[in-house]
Amino acid sequence: MNWILLGPPGAGKGTQASKIVEKYSIPHISTGDIFRKNIKEGTPLGKKAQEYMNKGLLVPDDLVVEIAASRLLEDDCKKGFLLDGFPRTVYQAQKLDEFLASNGSKIDCVLDVAVDKNELMGRLIGRRVCKACGAGFHVTNMPPVKEGICDICGGQLYQRADDTEETVANRISVYEAETMPLIDYYEKAGNIKHIDGAKDLDAVFADIVSALGE
Ligand code: AMP
**pLDDT (tens digit, 9 = 90+) per residue, 169-186?**
999 999 999 999 999 999
Mean pLDDT of 203-207: 97
For residue 192, pLDDT over 90 is answered with yes
For residue 57, give its domain range. 2-115+165-212
Question: 15-46 burial by CB neighbour count: b if 16+ within 10 A, else e?
Answer: ebbbebbeebebbbbbbbebbbebbeeeeebb
CA angle 135, 140, 145 (to 5 degrees): 60
Task: Out of 71, 95, 171, 193, pick the active-site residue.
Answer: 171
Are 180 and 13 within 8 A, CB to CB?
no
User: How would residue 134 be classed by pLDDT, with cut points 50, 70 and 90?
Assistant: confident
Which of 78-87, 115-124, 147-156 is the least confident region?
115-124
| 123 catalytic residue (yes or no) | no
185 assigned to some structural domain: yes
Residues 6 or more apart whose Cβ sits within 8 Å of residue 205: 16, 19, 20
127 assigned to some structural domain: no
Residue 146 CA to ligand 1 center (angstroms) comes to 30
Query: How many structural domains compose the chain?
Result: 1
**pLDDT (tens digit, 9 = 90+) per residue, 21-79?**
999 999 999 999 999 999 999 999 999 999 999 888 999 999 999 999 999 999 999 99
Share of the chain above pLDDT 90, in %: 91
The pLDDT value recorded for residue 214 is 62
Ligand 1: lining residues by beta carbon, under 6 Å:
9, 30-32, 35, 52-53, 56-59, 64, 85-88, 92, 162, 171
154 assigned to some structural domain: no
Which among 115, 96, 91, 94 is positioned nearest to 29, based on CA atoms? 96
List the helix and strand counts (H, then E) for the chain: 9, 8
Beta strand pairing status for 2-6 and 81-84? Answer: parallel
Mean pLDDT of 74-91: 96
200 assigned to some structural domain: yes
What is the domain-level CATH number for residue 85? Answer: 3.40.50.300
| 128 catalytic residue (yes or no) | no
140 assigned to some structural domain: no
Task: Out of 36, 71, 88, 193, pick the active-site residue.
Answer: 88
21 assigned to some structural domain: yes
Mean pLDDT of the chain: 94
Mean pLDDT of 11-19: 92
7 assigned to some structural domain: yes
Q: Report the nearest atom of ligand 1 relative to the CA of 86.
A: 19
150 assigned to some structural domain: no
| 13 catalytic residue (yes or no) | yes
Mean pLDDT of 112-138: 92
Residues 6 or more apart whose Cβ sits within 8 Å of residue 13: 5, 7, 84, 85, 113
- Residue ID of nearest Cα to ligand 1 atom 19: 86
